[in-house]
Every structure is written in structure tokens, then in C-alpha cells.
Structure 1
Amino acid sequence: MSAGRISDISEIARKASPALAVAVGLGGVGAVLLVVQMILLAKLVADVALQRLPVEAEFWPFTGFLCAALMRCCVQWASEMTGEQAAQKVVTVFRQDLIQRLFRIGPVGLQDLETGRLATSLTDSVAALQPYIAQYIPRAAAMVILPCVILAVVAGLDGWSFLILAMTGPLIPIFMALVGYSAQGLMDRQWTRLLLLGASFFDAVQGLTTLRLFGQARESVKMVQAMAEAHRLATMQVMRVAFLTSAVLEFFSSLAVALVAIVLGSRLLSGQVDFQTSFLVLLLAPEYFAPLRNFSASYHARQNALSAMDGLMAFMRLPELCVDQGARPHQAKTAAPEKLIFKDVSAGYGQGSDILCGISFTAHRGTITAVTGASGCGKTTLLHILLGMMPVRAGEIIAVDDAGSRIAAQNWRIGWVPQSPHLLNETIRDNLRLADPDADDTRLRSVAALAGVLSFINDLPDGLDTVVGDRGTALSGGEVRRLALARALMNAPDILVFDEPTADLDSANAAMIATALKQLAASRIVIAVSHRPDILHQATQVFHLPEGVLHLNEIQRAVA
């Protein structure tokens, strides 16, 4: 167990400290009520069984016993509910923070983290923190409060019993710690296998088509089965340790109670202690060990949480690359940018060298700026920094309006059309409304007409209610690209960014996309990464990026 992990979990649990303090306080009240309940029960048994008092004479002690038992049940229920609600709230907030961090890291920062591992971390790993907060922490406090209260009462009743309980009680935490250190390694391996299983299963499902084409589907299934079996065996090893721990604790607690009973029995026969005192101590002795046993039962929640945090830490250590657009309010009305200026921009990935080196150019409103270059020269990196997916290492990107005033980056309205747009397995209407959930059909049709896709939608039997299929499989590549363009226009962007907008399209669809770009560029800044002549012919200026250095002498109005 490393100090770093404990600190991280403690920081999460600290957010629930007010509610947990209430839960622990209620647990303390429950401990006092338990002692009162046992005192009244011992008195009732002694009066009725030994002194042969009539039951009617014990009305008030019996009523007090019932009230104490009922109040203890209510207090214990309130304590558990308070802890559960606090844990649910903290875990929910923590998961929301992780998701927000996910967006701040961005796709560039997440590219080296397996999707399946990330999904498992954000679901199962976060869920494993809830039992730690709801059960382990309150029970750890109860392990101190109730035994101390019982020891204080027993100390005033019988010295020998106090000595036995005081000496045997600490043995349980000691044995739990010894077993816990060995169990932590098993739990770490279990979570590692779970993360690997999630990543492998997701990769297998995602690449199922390729695996089938190469005849490797069965081997992939066998690999996932083997990993699932390894995870099952690891889980059973952890369960065996948990059962062994419970058995050891039950043995020591039973042995201690038996020792107290033997000592009290011999002293009761010799007349050194009275029956009511002996009976009360015997009632309290099992309750003395009960919170220790409950704590040991929830101790695996702590081990589980520590192991789960290892998977989360791999995600939390990733640097935040994207600007948090939601952290700052957008201005109610912002002038449209007249030009977008790149000034000596340099950028790269991780600790590697710069991919872009001192790029400087200006994209004007009403023009199409095309960027070309060989694979690996930095075109994608240029798009990443423009879209806020990664920071620049040097230089800056400035947007200015027609008066020459700067426009803050959080107020840029950018539309993005990737080379392989992702459409949900929903209707055309639902896919377009992703950018504007409140848009009505009139707005949708207007934007569709602007993207040159309205006639295609009208020709469909179900129109806007047509289901496009998973990733748009029911549509052609050109139709998917034009729908993505319409979706990008839903927010009325001032800057449109395209990545190979006509790649893999036939000449007819490529011509329609190129025409739409030219029409849209009349009132916008359009930047397109492309090698296709249909886009380059429409471009006002073309920048060539050989090995990350922009060649200004390649600027031209058209490419023959």
C-alpha cells in the first residue's frame, strides 16, 4: 500500500466528511443505546429469574428495554442511510469530475489509453469507491466507539473481564492487517486482469469485422475467454482470503468470549461476583467484538478501493490538453472573426520534438484556405490545435473582427467536419439535433438546404425520420459527409474546419461537397486539409506543409 493511494482516496472521502460525521455520531448514539439495552435486559432477567419478581413489577424496565431497542434500530438505520447517501453523492460528483476531465484531456491525450480500460475505470473502478465510503469508514469509527464504551462499562463491573477484553480486542486488527497486506496483492492482480479484460473485449468487438476477414475471430474469442477465466480465478483467490479472514476473526472472538465466560463462571460459583453483573458482562462481550467483525467484513472494500484507484490514477495522470470551454461564460453577442492569424505556432506530442515549427499564416473571412502536405507533416496536428484538442508550445492563434479587436478563444464558433464522421444509429433529425437539441424542423431543413442535403432527405420515404444505421451504414459516404456538414452548421459557426472533405468520394459527391464549401465560405473562414483538386481549385490560398514548416511561397489562388 503506497501513501499516494491512501492520500488520493482520503481526498475523495473528505468530500463526504460532514455526512460521515453525522453517520459516526449516530453510530455513537447507537452504541450508548446498546449498552442501555443490555443493562435493562440483565436487570429484567435477574429480577424475574432470581428474585422471582412478578412480570407486572418490571413494566418500566421492560418498556425502557423496548424503547432502547427500537431507538437503536432507528439510529442504526439512519446512520447507514446517511453513509450510503453521502457515498452516492460523492461518487456521483467524482464521476462527473472525471468525465469533465475526460473532455479536458481530449482525444489527443487519450490516444495512448485503451478505450476498454478507460470505460472499465470510469464504471467499475469508480463504483468500487462507494463501499469504501459508505461501509469501511463508518465501521472503522464504530470499531473504536462501541468497544471503548463497552470497555468503560465492563471496567466498572469486573476487572478480570476488562483485562481479558482489553488484551484480546487488539489481536483482531493485528491479524486483519497481516492478512490485508497479502490480500492487497491479490486484489491488485484482480483489478489489473479486469482492466485488461475490458480493454481486450472492447478491442475484439471493435475489430470483429477485420478479425473475421482474416479468420482470427475464434482465436480472439479464445483469448477473451482465457482472460475471463484468469479474472475468475483471481476473484476466487480473493474470496478465499476473505473467508479465511472471517474464520480467523470468528475463532479469536469466540475464544475470547469463552474465556470471559469461564472466568466469570468460576468467580460466580465462588461468590466473587453476582449473577446480574456476570450476565451483563456476557451480554456485552459478543457486542464488544461485533464491530470488529463488521469492520473485517468491510475491510475488503478498502482493498478493493485501493486497487481500483490504481486504474483511475493512470487516467488522472494524463495532462489536460483541451481548453475547458464551459468554464467561462460565452458573451451574449460576439462579432464574427474577420481573420484567423497563426503567429509562429509550434506544437508536438508528449515529450517528443515539435511536429509544427513556427507556422505563420492568415486565413481570411470569405475565403477557403487549403492545407496540403505529405503524411506525417503536421496537418492533423494543425487541426488539433485549432480545435483546442492540444495546446501550442510556442506562438499563438488570434481571431480578430473587422475592427481589429481580438475575439476570445472561448467565443469562437467553430464547425468541424472530420474525414470519417460518426453518425448515431438514430434518425436524421436526432443526428442533426446533437448540435442544437431545441432546433425545430424548419431550422433543420434550412441548414440541410445550406449543406446541399435537403433534396436527398426529401427523396427518402421517411424524410427526417429515416434511421441512418450504426455509423451511417444505411447511407452512402457522400450522404454521410453532407449530413455531418449540416450538423456542423447547426450552431452557425464563423469558422469551418474540414479534414479531407472529399476523400473516398466519387466525382459527383465530391463536386457537391466542393460547391457547398465555396458557398459557405462567402461569409465564413474555411480551412480544409485536402489533396484533392476539387477542393484545391476552390481554394483562395493553398499552404503546403513539408515536414511541419509552412512554405509561404506555395500560396496560390488555384492549383491547375
Structure 2
Amino acid sequence: MGTEHEESTPERVSAKPVDPRLLRYARGSRGYFVALAAISLAQTTLIIAFAWLLTRAIVDAIDGMPLDGLAPTLAAFAAVVVLRGVVLWVREQVASRAAARVQVELRERLFDAVGALGPGWLATRNSAQLAVTAGRGLDALEAYFGRYLPQLVQTVVATPIILAVMWWQDWISGLTVLLTLPLIPVFMVLIGLATRSVQQRQWKTLQRLAARFADTVQGLSTLKVFGRQHRAAASIEHVTDDYRRETMKVLRVSFLSGFALEFLASISVAIVAVSIGFRLIDGSLALAVGLFVLLLAPEAYLPIRQVGVQFHAASEGVAATDDVFAVLDAARAQAPTEPSTAEPGPAPSPLVLHDVRVRRGGRVLAPVGLHVAPGQVTLLEGPSGTGKSSVFAALRGSAEFSGTAELAGIDVRGIPSSSWLAWSGQQPGLTSGTIAANVALGDDEPDSATVERALDLACAGDLSPMLVLGVQGAGLSGGQAQRVAVARAFYRHLRGRAGVIALDEPSSALDAETEARLWRSVRMLADDGAAVILVSHRPSARGIADTVVRLEPTEEQSNEQSEVPA
């Protein structure tokens, strides 16, 4: 799961109603805005028709018109009411489908971006935080698309039209609305900035809680052995209390801002109503005009008022999209201007490292040079901390390095490691599912016979491929899990997906007899054409190695190597 990484960057507080990156990364949102504009125009037309027909019906009834004369107006009024309901239903359907499409599109882009950034970038992030962003965070876009954006577009379309109609009918009321309307956006911006800041802190606390919980569960057995499980539980409880307090702050700001916006809108409508009332009394304004304008006045303030209200409901989704866009921006900035289309091909090819200096943990390791040819086993030896596993991390893309690392003359940094490297690390990295699914991980069309052969070669033939494992491979012993991980690397090579096999301490949890069988399997695969890089502290590994590269720490350098024949 990884160590919990705290973000030191300042909170991102955007004053933009809609992040323009949404249109860039979620193409499905472009048509949605066009549809919302059309729906908002229809809603505005129906609002004006509703107010006008209601005004006519009331005024005609006051004038003593019989029911037969009112029937056409009442029928038209009923039709408008039904149409308003239909338009609202259409808007809900369009918003729901658009939210679903954008969620899928952003998740796919997020996964692609993480893959493009590579293991090196991922190693500096906490996977639990990314999971919260990709899961709950993007799920919160339902409120953003279903409530906030429709109200925002409705404000842009409806408010100017309704204001123009009011000015046309009664310029004094129109001027009153024009002067009082800006008060709501001003307060809304101020409240929105406060809400955004509080929401960002709540979102970061939720991510920290998820990371802390995931790390605690992963290391629970170790914590219990050392009697620290209670301290870990107390830490989770402390972060949970922080999340509760941040959530209450969000709710408090939301309720206060809602009250402020409603109060301003009510006062503004009251000013319009008082002005119309005085002019109706002195006869300077006709009843039909006054009533029509008065019915439209709340509708002029309603859209912009609802934008502020719905912003709070959508704020969690907005915070999540900030994190998603940050990942997508990083992937876009890292993308090469002219990506290489060269591939090493399926045939075994030599792997050549020259003056490779790996950067790990803020330090640069000593240069490493290797020449791993097909049919050979190259053994990396040396004390812990001299950079053996770091070489593997560089080949996988999990660590930056200088120098050259080429496969068939192609820089390995320009090709995905999954296309040429079969790797087994010190941590098995198993997932929930069958053993067969773990062995054939990444193969869309797994071959059961090859799965069984890979298990046999990894000395795990006694395990049933159909055995279902729990989370992180629960259900196997440490040695069994290690052998399944080695079988996964063997399977990838046997399927022709990787010409280079890299094994990091594959026998650390094995007994001497099983280890000897494993070494024979590795030697056999090399004799069949595989290029094998092996890291092992076991002296028995020298028996199958063609070349031994030893890394040693010195006073002048962090480590050095000497190459001798096996």
C-alpha cells in the first residue's frame, strides 16, 4: 500500500465556476453544456409563459370574466405546468447520463495517466489516496453534474432574459433587480472561497484517513507483535475526529451561506414588491404589469441563488477533480513530444546497462554496468543497501537513473517494461482471486497449461491453480506466496511476453531443497534462451550464474562493482 505521503503543496482554491480542464479531459462534457443551454432556454421560456398566463388568469378573474372565457387561459397554464415538469425530468436524465459518462472517462484517463507516469511517480504517492479520489471522489461528480452545472447554465441563460423582460414591462423594477442582483454574486464568491478552503481541508483529511487505515491494516500483524496496535487505533481515531470536525465546519458554512443568500434574495424581492405596491396604489402602474413583474422577480434571483446552494453539494466532487486534473496535468507535461514507436520485439535480446546511476531516497548510487545476454544468468551480489534492488527498480521504471540502459539497442525508458520484463520482487504482490489469475496477471487470454508449467518450474506444483486467495494473497504461507510470484514471472516469459527475467531474492523464504529445485528451473529457462538477472544473498545462487556482479560500499563511493567469471 505504501507509506503515507503528506502533500506539502498549498491548497488549491479556484475561483473559476467551471474548471476549463474539464472540457479538455472530459470530452463528453462538451455536448452536455450545449444540451444544458437548450434546456435552460426552454425552461426560461416556460417560466415567462407561466408568469404571464397566471397573471392573465388572475386579472381576468378580477375583471369578472366567466369561467368559459378563462378556460383557454387555464388550459394553456396547465400545459405550461406539465411542460415545466417534463423539461425538469429531461434535465435530470441528461445530467445523470452525462455524469456517468464523465466519471467513466475521467477514471480511464486517470488510470492511463498513472500508467504513463510510471511506477517511479506512483512510489511517491499513497495508493489509498488515489483510490479515494478515483472512487468516492469521482462518484461525487453526480451532484456536480446533476445540480451545480445545470443551475450555473440556467443562471447564465435565464437571468439576463428575465431581467430584460422585466425592464421591458417595468423599467423601475428592472433597474431595482439590476442594482440588487450583484449583491448575491459578491456574497456568493466570498462564501464560496471560504467553503472551498474548508472543503479542501475536509477532502485532504479523508484521504489521510484512508491512507492511515490502509497502512495500519497492512502492518497490523507487525504492530500486534510489538504491542503497538492500540497506538495505531488511537491514531486512526484521532484522524477520524479531525474528519468529523472538518465535516461539521463544511456543514456550518453551508447552512450559514444558504441563510445569507436566501436573506439577500428575500430582501431584494421585497424591495421590488414594495415599489410595485406603492405604484399600484397611486395608479401609475397597471395591475397586469405589476403582477407579471412581481411573479418574475423571484425567478430572476432564484438561479444565481441556487448556484451558491448547489455549490456546497458539489464541492466534494470539485475537490476530487482538482486531484484528478493534477495527475492528468503531470502526465501531459511528462509526455514526450515525439513518442518512440520502436519496440524490442518478442525475440530474446541482450540488455545492456552502461554507467547507470540510480537515484533513490535523495541519494545517487554508484554506476552500474551490465551485459545480460539471452541464455545467461547474471547474479547481483553485495551487502544490503548497495543498490541491487534499485537496479531492478530502474529497469521497471520505479526509479530515475542516468546513464544508458538499452534492450536491443532501444532505451528502456522509451518502452513499457511490461513488454520485455518479467519481474518478481521481494514482496509477492498477490491480489484477491485464484492462483491461476495471479500467475496469468495481465494476460487477457490465459493459458491453463502454461500456468501449471510455470507453477511447476517455481516449485509450486502442489498448489491448485483454482485455489481462491484473499486480499494480498491471504491463504498462502510466505514461501508459497513467493513461489506464486516467481511463477508469474516465469509465465510471462513462457507466453513470449518478456525476454528478460528479473528475480529479486526469489529463494529467501525457501528451504535448501526447494531452493535447489528453483535454481535448476532458472538455469533451464536461461538455457532455453531467457536473459536472467538474479539478486540473491544465497551462496548457492553462484552455482547457476554465468556472471557475478558484486556491489561493494567504499569510502570514496557509495558502492562499487567488480565483475568476475562465475
What is the TM-score normalised by the length of structure 2? 0.85
Alpha-carbon offset, residue 522 of structure 1: 0.8
Distance 1:496 1:27, change over 3 A: same
Aligned ranges 1:440-455 → 2 under 5 Å: 440-454=447-461
Instruction: Give distance in 2, aligned partners of 1:258 and 1:130.
Output: 35
Aligned AA (1:499): D
The superposition leaves residues 404-456 of structure 1 with CA deviations (integer Å, 9 ceiling, x where unpaired) of xx9x94595321122221333433233233243433433433333444433x2
Inter-partner Cα distance in structure 1 for 2:103 and 2:252:
28
Taking only the aligned residue pairs, the percentage that are identical comes to 29
SS of the aligned residue for 1:415 comes to: strand
Residue 13 of structure 1 contacts residue 90 of structure 1 at CA under 8 Å; is this kept in 2?
no
The residue number in structure 2 matching 1:398 is 407
Name structure 2 gaps, 5 residues minimum: 1-10
Contact 2:113 2:327 in 1 (8 A): no
Q: Aligned in 2, Cα 1:317/1:413: closer, same or farther, shift over 3 Å?
A: same
Q: CA deviation at 1:257?
A: 2.2
Which region of structure 1 is more displaced relative to structure 2, 196-205 or 132-141? 132-141
Aligned partner letter, 1:464: P
Q: CA offset at residue 196 of structure 1?
A: 1.9
Q: Residue 481 in 1 paired to residue 482 in 2?
A: yes
1:469-508 equivalences under 5 Å are: 469-491=470-492, 492=494, 493-508=498-513
Q: CA deviation at 1:88?
A: 3.0
Which whole-Å deviations, capped at 9, do the CAs of 1:266-285 have from their partners, x for residues lacking one? 32232222222222122112
Is 1:429 equivalent to 2:436 in the alignment? yes
Q: 1:470 to 1:284 in 2, by over 3 A?
A: closer
Q: Which one of 195, 208, 211 corresponds to residue 199 of structure 1?
A: 211
- Select which of 379, 398, 414 maps to 2:421: 414
Alignment correspondent of 1:509: 514
User: 1:230-269 alignment to 2 at 5 Å?
Assistant: 230-269=242-281
Match of 2:7 in 1: none
1:374 is matched with 383
C-alpha distance after superposition, 1:522-549 (max 9, x if no partner): 1211110112112111111101122476
Change (3 A) 1:174 1:510: same
Tell me the residue number matched to 1:460. none
The answer as to 2:452 corresponding to 1:439 is: no
Match of 2:3 in 1: none
Shift of 1:20: 0.9
**Greater mean alpha carbon deviation, residues 516-525 or residues 143-152:** 143-152
AA aligned opposite 1:254: S
**Residue 346 of structure 1 pairs with residue 357 of structure 2:** yes
What do residues 1-43 of structure 1 show as CA deviations (whole Å, max 9, x unaligned)? Answer: 8687859932124542332122122202210121012111211
CA 1:201–1:315: 2 relative to 1, 3 Å: farther
TM-score, normalised with respect to structure 1:
0.86
Structure 1, gaps ≥5 residues long: 458-462
What does the per-residue CA deviation read over 1:125-146, in whole Å, with 9 as the maximum and x for residues that have no partner? 4344553344333322322322
- Which digits, 9 at most, give the CA deviation of each residue in 1:288-323, with x for residues without a partner? 221122112112256545544565577567679999
Please tell me whether the aligned partners of residues 482 and 513 of structure 1 are also in contact (alpha carbons under 8 angstroms): no
Residues 1:146 and 2:158 aligned together? yes
| In the alignment, structure 1 residue 20 sits paired with structure 2 residue 36 | no
Contact 1:179 1:245 in 2 (8 A): yes
User: Could you say what secondary structure the match of 1:9 adopts?
Assistant: coil
1:160-175 mapped onto 2 (5 Å cutoff): 160-175=172-187
Change (3 A) 1:248 1:549: closer
Deviations 1:42-86 (A, max 9, x none): 112212x22222222234333322333333332333234333433
Amino acid at match of 1:339: P
- Measure the CA separation in 2 of the matches of 1:139 and 1:8: 12
Partner of 2:4: none
SS of the residue corresponding to residue 125 of structure 2 reads coil
- Matched with 2:46 is 33
Distance 2:208 2:349 in 1: 49
Alignment of 1:51-70 (within 5 A): 51-70=63-82
- Deviation string 1:462-507 (CA, Å, 9 cap, x unpaired) is x333334554454344433332222223232321110011113211
**Higher alpha-carbon deviation: 225-234 or 510-519:** 225-234
Equivalent pair of 1:541/1:555 in contact (CA under 8 Å)? yes
Aligned residue type for 2:535? V
Helix, strand or coil at the partner of 2:465: helix
Letter in 2 for 1:417: S
1:194 and 1:188 map into 2 onto residues whose CA distance is: 10
Q: Quick one: which amino acid aligns to residue 513 of structure 1?
A: L
Q: Equivalent residue of 2:544, what SS?
A: coil
Q: Secondary structure at the match of 1:465?
A: coil
CA 1:520 to 1:186, structure 2 compared with 1: closer, same or farther past 3 Å? Answer: same
Specify the code of the residue in structure 1 equivalent to 2:522. Answer: L
**Code of the aligned partner of 1:34:** I
Q: What is the rounded CA distance, in whole Å, between the counterparts of 1:5 and 1:366 in structure 2?
A: 61
Please say if residues 106 and 322 of structure 1, whose CA atoms lie closer than 8 Å, have aligned partners that are also in contact.
Answer: no
